[in-house]
Amino acid sequence: MQLALFWIFSILMLAFALGVVFLRNPVSSAMSLVMTFVALAAVFVTLDAFFIAVVQVLVYAGAVMVLFLFIIMLLDLRAEKQRKVRPSAWLGGGLVVGGFMAAITQVVAGWPALHHTKPELSDPSFNDVAGVGFTLFRDFNLPFQIIGVLLLVATVGVVLLSRKELK
């Protein structure tokens, strides 16, 4: 059952990721990206990471993609549809991606420790959000505060960047 769910959502995710790369219309690419993120959240659920799955849907499929679609509609991008991809780009992209996948398959195939199934959890009804929260606020408190400063800096930067006259 779990294997079937894993394959369904992985194949869905990879199919929509293919759509992101190969669809010509930027709006179709963005909608495929939303579906990729939702399928990835489902894959997170098969790994018992419920909090991360919810955050994935809220932040990525919600906030980030709304921003993307908003910008696509702000800029009028219809003229971009006709352009062709150069053959040298196809060749370079194919070589780099093929080499990367070959390296990963080689490593995964030659490492027997990776081929065990999931170990059983000691407490099947564990509280996922409490675990993430305790780790975040106890062991990673300083990075958490720094990330708050980073968000503030990003907000100020975006407001400055999107003013009409850049000095």
Smallest separation, CB 150 to other proteins (Å): 6
Residue carrying structure tokens 């062709």: 84
Smallest separation, CB 161 to other proteins (Å): 4
Smallest separation, CB 50 to other proteins (Å): 10
Smallest separation, CB 114 to other proteins (Å): 4
Both tokens assigned to 31? 């909608």
d(CA 63, CA 124): 32
Angle between helices 65-74 and 26-46 (to 10 degrees): 180
Amino acid (one-letter) located at 20: V
Q: Which residues contact 40 (CB under 8 A, 6 or more apart)?
A: 13, 56
Both tokens assigned to 148? 């708050």
